[in-house]
Amino acid sequence: MIGTMQQSPTNLIDILNHAARWHGEQEIVTYSVEGDIRRSNYSKLHERTAQLAHALTDVGLKAGECLGTLAWNTDRHVETWYATAGLGVICHTINPRLPDAQLVFIINDAADKILFVDLSFVDIVERILPELKTVKQVVVMTDNEHMAGLNSDWICYEDFLDGQSNQYEWVSVDIHTPSSICYTSGTTGDPKGVVYSHYSNLIHTFMSVQKDAFNLGSGDNVLMIVPMFHANSWGLAYALPMVGAKMVLPGPHLGGADVCKLIQDEAVNTSAAVPTVWTMLLNHLSDTGETIPTMKDVIVGGSAVPKSMIETFKSKYDVNIIQAWGMTEMSPLGTLSRGRAIDGEETITDKCRQGRVFFGVDMKIVNDTGDELERDGKVFGRLMVKGPVVVDRYHNKDSSALEDGWFDTGDIATINAKGSMGITDRSKDVIKSGGEWISSVDMENAAISHPSVNLAACIGIYHPKWEERPLLVVMLHPENELDKPAILDVIANDFARWQLPNDIVVIENMPLTGTGKLDKKVLRARFEDHYTRT
């Protein structure tokens, strides 16, 4: 018997209860770590979630305690999210791409009692386990066949569930009870824990399925690429069951060829991921001549979307690129570039902006003294946000993260008369040359429009005369050679001559952060004396 919803939902398990009761036969497909394809549905996933809840109760995990996961997007990971929610336990999704020292810090800071780990990340746990102060048990998210050679004290996930009842009397929780925790990437200092409540996640889910947001329904087949350990999976692990959409879970299969096959085989029409994923897909499609005829909408976030990517997806594959912006601290969705154009059809310029807010989020731009600035699309300032999905304070921190109720995003932005927000830069990335500001984000997007450029990063480097000057670092497409004048000519279409980079350098591999963004601190360290040497 599938539980019915309370008069008003207070526990995130209500989302899965609803999906199982009203969309029970809707398919959930996992392209697994082990290499096989698992096909299930919301009804079966609900039953296995109940089994997992019983198993966690049996090992003594209590409400308010943390369970950590190092896992890909799979059905087992989704089961873990909902079982912890239904028990009042806090699910701590851990980014396995972080350095070992940061992993040790965040696991100890969250005080995780149990770790759930995919086979891909067993070696990480083996390395850091001696330094983990609170972890009492490790569960490997696989079947018995794949446990050979692993630590005999570790539990096999399928054995953990075996024999447990597929019905559970879910706990009632205060709606503001913590449900999950996700740590920022720690690019400056230690990572900070962002705690989500059942309330903030429920509100965010209602926001995200709106027509002007993800625009999801039971007729959609959604490839959930954005990792569940990255900014709360952009809320998709909650949004898809809420509307009864088909959930396609890629596991570790994220390369261009893999994503193409997933889209084709599962008739995917919507997906979401950072730009690097879509660059790999476009490269694969260009190299092979394959197509993705079922795909309609691609949500892109994490960093600015190049104009060339928007144009290529639309002109060659009839796919709409919808740019999103948000932060871990916002649960994480803040704006999308989907929606009406007030003065006619949306232009490519409109699509290159980060878009409008939804009900539940407010934002403004301010100057250095905190005065709100005009919404004319030209003046830019510090981007401030507030609302019920915005973090109040970080885990284990006494002071509030807010300034008079507003959260400083660290972004520099404009807001235009249409209500559309555009990120100019991160405050730490904007380049100040001779007292004038230059946007690194706009420079990167302009550079990528040149056909030889695969990835581009613009960084400010010390200059003895101008304080800082832009340096453009590029990774070229295979078999292309650097043509500095041609790339500068393309950039000059959008920039004044004095703003153009003094130099362009080529690297073979672009450094990325654990969340797939350009790691500019690595580039700054590598090229810090470039203009004093040259």
- As annotated, the active-site residues are 184, 329, 432, 437
Burial class (CB within 10 angstroms; exposed 0-12, middle 13-18, buried 19+) of 133: exposed
* Largest distance between two CA atoms of the chain: 74
Residues 6+ apart with CB under 8 A from 468: 431, 432, 433, 460, 461, 462
Residues 236, 224 contacting (CB under 8 angstroms): yes
Residues 352, 311 contacting (CB under 8 angstroms): no
Both tokens assigned to 530: 């470039």
Radius of gyration, alpha carbons of the chain: 23
CA–CA dist 467, 194 (Å, integer): 36
**To which residue do tokens 């386990």 refer?**
129
Residues 114, 138 contacting (CB under 8 angstroms): yes
The length of the chain in residues reads 534
Q: Which helix (H) or strand (E) holds 137?
A: strand 137-140
DSSP β-bridge partners for residue 89: none
Q: Which helix (H) or strand (E) holds 205?
A: helix 198-208
Residues 244, 220 contacting (CB under 8 angstroms): no
Both tokens assigned to 46: 């609900």
Strands (E), 198-264: 221-224, 246-249
Residues 177, 196 contacting (CB under 8 angstroms): no
**Measured CA angle at 402 (ends 399, 405), to 5 deg:** 130
